[in-house]
Structure 1
Amino acid sequence: MVELLNQHAKQTIKALWKELITYLKSIPYSQEQLSVFLSVLNQ
């Protein structure tokens, strides 16, 4: 049961990441700024 919830949470987080990245890409940032931002988040 807990395993199932963990899996679901991971999928939800992945989906949210996709949404966030898609959203960020739609903003007229330079690619460099975006890369820096994402690398900070991934640490």
Structure 2
Amino acid sequence: MRRILQASSLLALLALAACQTVQGAGRDLESAGQVISRESQEVQAGS
């Protein structure tokens, strides 16, 4: 029983860490997309 509790605690911790990592990566990609969009709008406006 104790082994199952330890394993489930470890899995919960890993799942939480993975979720935070994916969320951070999503924010980074969103930022990059906004920069690219802004730059392309500036180029189109200048043409």
- Percent of aligned pairs with the same amino acid: 7
Moved over 3 A (4+): none
Larger radius of gyration: 2
Tell me the TM-score normalized by structure 1.
0.63
Deviations 1:1-43 (A, max 9, x none): 000000000000000000000000001267xxxxxxxxxxxxx
The normalised TM-score by structure 2 is 0.58
- Flag the structure with higher helix content: 2
The alignment's C-alpha RMSD in Å is 1.5
Q: Which amino acid aligns with 1:8?
A: T
* Match status 1:25 vs 2:38: yes
Note the residue ranges of structure 2 that are not aligned, 5 or more in a row.
1-13
Matched, 1:13 2:26: yes
- Number of corresponding residues: 30
Instruction: Compare relative contact order (CA 8 Å, sep 6+) and give the higher one, 1 or 2.
Output: 1
